[in-house]
Amino acid sequence: MSTYFISDIHGCYREFKILLKKSNFDVKKDYLWIAGDLVARGPNSLEVIRYLYSIKDRTNIVLGNHDLNLIAVYSGIKENKKENYFDDFLSSKDSDKLINWLRSQSILKINEQQKIIMIHAGISSQWDFETMKACALEIEASLLSNDYPLFLKSVFNNKINYWNSSLRKIDRLRYSVNAFTRMRYCYPNGKLNLICKKSPNVVKYPLLPWFIISNKFKEKYSVVFGHWSTLKDTRVPSAFFPLDKGCCWGGQLLMLRWEDKQYFYQSYLG
């Protein structure tokens, strides 16, 4: 049995299936961990979701910002933009089933046996371990509630970028969604910057990649994440494993086999 990690498939179904074959992923005995953004940007989001649903007993998934956006578009609270390539999904006969399954996925996954944390974007340096888990559970419960459209309508907000334990619930949720699914850079005091997407090679202080700011997780855990395609060619601390190589932008899809730390690549096919 092997454990494989991948992120930011973004509807690149052909590349995804080729990569599974290249890596010798065996659906009968291996497990696939996916660090979010299954959909959007690439042309085949429906096929990606259908395939993952068909092997759901062999997957562990955390949601990314584009996955939340699909749920919001499906709920009618956000516009279906052309670049999302959501039309096939929204018109499919099984969209209800697939959306409900997507809503049931996690925001945070922790493998205590192998000491691995998986998130889509980042972890706030202002959280301790228990706060991190509590914030993820609060988002997950909101997505599963009957009021999930109202939650999604209210939660997208750039202004909530600094953690305080006394935040009211909706602002806790806003901050948590920003940290888990959208963050790249922070200021030295931990305040989130939700605007800059450039490579750390060209960004100067006081902006710092979120994984540079001290937290105690990297002393005991490895952290797998996606979301940040411009991290390529950037040196990252050894406890962190970024997996987004920008396949949907003409780059590559990347898969990591955990046991031997072997990487597998598939270039975008157009």
Q: Domain limits at 213?
A: 3-267
- Band (pLDDT 50/70/90 cuts) for residue 182 is very high
Check residue 232 and give its pLDDT. Answer: 77
pLDDT (0 to 100) of residue 31: 98
pLDDT at 247 over 80: yes
Lookup result for tokens 């301790």: 128
Burial of 81 (0-12, 13-18, 19+ CB in 10 A): exposed
pLDDT tens-digit profile of 48-78? 999 999 999 999 999 999 999 999 999 999 9
215-233 tens-digit pLDDT: 777 789 999 999 999 997 8
pLDDT at 218: 72
Burial class for 269, CB neighbours closer than 10 Å (0-12, 13-18, 19+): exposed
- If one counts the domains in the chain, the total is 1
Alpha-carbon gap, residue 77 to 64, rounded angstroms: 18
The domain that holds 132 is classified in CATH as 3.60.21.10
pLDDT at 233: 80
Residue 115 is given by DSSP the state T
Per-residue pLDDT, averaged over 92-116, amounts to: 97
Contact 71, 127 (CB under 8 A): no
- 34 in helix, strand or coil? strand
pLDDT at position 36: 97
Q: Give 123-150 pLDDT, tens digit per residue.
A: 999 999 999 999 999 999 999 999 999 9
pLDDT at residue 259, as a whole number: 96
pLDDT in the model for residue 270: 80
> 43 preceded by cis ω (within 30°)?
no
pLDDT in tens, 229-246: 999 788 899 999 999 999
